[in-house]
Amino acid sequence: MVLDIVASKEGVEPDYRMIGQFAGECFMPLCYGGGIRTLDQAKRVFDLGVEKVCLQSAVLDRPAIVTEIAGTFGRQSVVVSVDVKRDWLGRPKLYQSRSGKTLGRDWLDFLRYAVEAGAGEVVLNAVDRDGEMGGYDFELIRQAAAAVSVPLIALGGAGTSDHFRQAVMAGASAVAAGAMFVFYGPHRAVLISYPPYSELEKLFPERK
């Protein structure tokens, strides 16, 4: 999954040239998110070889975009990103990354609505844990998994391979990580590193 976190904030279209470069080098299913606001933009991204699009800001502004894309390309092609941030009392709040503000709408209601509109998958991002590498918000994962039946991808907080297993045990269908693969050691030196596949297999022996 490639997320352009600047495109939506600046209100610009996806960088189609960059997406084409990613798609040309990627030999696994590729999902792209960032700046997609119309059906035509989504079609152009799919035409570049991308299998799924990830939406957030556009869904908050115009939920019908999910139904339009799912109706044209199938719901398996639409992923909705749900950002959640806890307030000073620890209460989870729906968060809009574009504005950097929490919203008044209940995050679970938004999650259910996105699925009803046609989302085939959901990315649940614990914003206050993002980049901290201290573990996912497992309680959020449990609540989200109980609320919807589509695949749920946990994001925000992964720091060890064991966090992956804990997230799946909490109800996630899959896990995502970023900082864990990039930063290393107490000084957070940049080192692109991924766990060996054999190590990941040991986490889920029941899935072999």
pLDDT tens digits for range 154-185: 999 999 989 999 999 999 999 999 888 886 66
Give me the mean pLDDT over the 93-102 stretch: 90
Backbone angles phi, psi at 197, to 5 degrees: -60, -35
- Residue 13: per-residue pLDDT: 93
Per-residue confidence (pLDDT) for residue 202, from 0 to 100: 85
Has residue 144 got a pLDDT over 80? yes
| DSSP character at residue 119 | -
CA torsion sign for 17, 4, 72, 150 is positive
Alpha carbon separation from 203 to 72, 142, 154 (Å, rounded) = 37, 19, 16
CATH of 52-207, one of 1.10.1040.10, 3.40.1440.10, 3.20.20.70, 3.40.50.300: 3.20.20.70
Residue 188 confidence (pLDDT): 64
pLDDT of residue 166: 96
b/e code 141-180 from CB counts within 10 Å (16+ = b)? bebbbebbebbbbbbbbbbebebbebbbebbbeebbbeeb
83 tagged catalytic? yes
Q: Give the H or E element holding residue 86.
A: strand 78-86
Which member of 83, 87, 128, 162 is catalytic? 83
Question: pLDDT value at position 185?
Answer: 61
The rounded radius of gyration (Å) of the Cα atoms in the chain is 17
Place of tokens 């960088």: 15
- Residue 208: pLDDT above 80? no
Q: How high does pLDDT run on average in the chain? A: 91
Burial class, 112, CB count within 10 angstroms (exposed 0-12 / middle 13-18 / buried 19+): middle
Stated as kind and residue range, the H or E segment containing 147 is helix 138-147
Q: What pLDDT is attached to residue 184?
A: 64
Tell me, what amino acid is at 168?
Answer: V
Is 129 within 8 Å of 176 (Cβ atoms)? no
